[in-house]
Amino acid sequence: GQQLNQSPQSMFIQEGEDVSMNCTSSSIFNTWLWYKQEPGEGPVLLIALYKAGELTSNGRLTAQFGITRKDSFLNISASIPSDVGIYFCAGPGYDKVIFGPGTSLSVIP
């Protein structure tokens, strides 16, 4: 079945550093979604991508829809402590949304 993989599984970075994470799929997706989950809360949609090659920004966050349509990337510039959380990628499955396993981000002040 359709499956998403995310790397890295976890990251520990210093405040102010840039962050890069990615999501890959064994099959083609026509939409890529990125969510952030803060501790004890539900995930919140950050960015949605709808076209191969698309680059979309939301403040310090930038996400790209890979040309092959089998991957997507999320970058966070100049990280701050409130960036802490789990970042999930997601895409449309045959009859349901498919979520990746997440990348856990810790920011050291």
Partner 1 sequence: DGGITQSPKYLFRKEGQNVTLSCEQNLNHDAMYWYRQDPGQGLRLIYYSQIVNDFQKGDIAEGYSVSREKKESFPLTVTSAQKNPTAFYLCATAAGPTEAFFGQGTRLTVV
Name the site residues for partner 1 (rule: CB under 8 A).
31, 33, 40-45, 48, 86, 88, 90, 92-97, 99-102, 104
Nearest approach in angstroms of CB 84 to partner 1 is 13
For residue 83, the Cα-to-chain-centroid distance in whole angstroms is 13
Please, are residues 27 and 5 in contact by the beta-carbon 8 Å criterion?
no
Q: DSSP class of residue 94?
A: S
Nearer Cβ to partner 1 (35/73): 35
Helices (H) and strands (E) in the chain, counts: 0, 11
Min CB(78)–partner 1 separation in Å: 26
Closest distance of CB 33 from partner 1, Å: 6
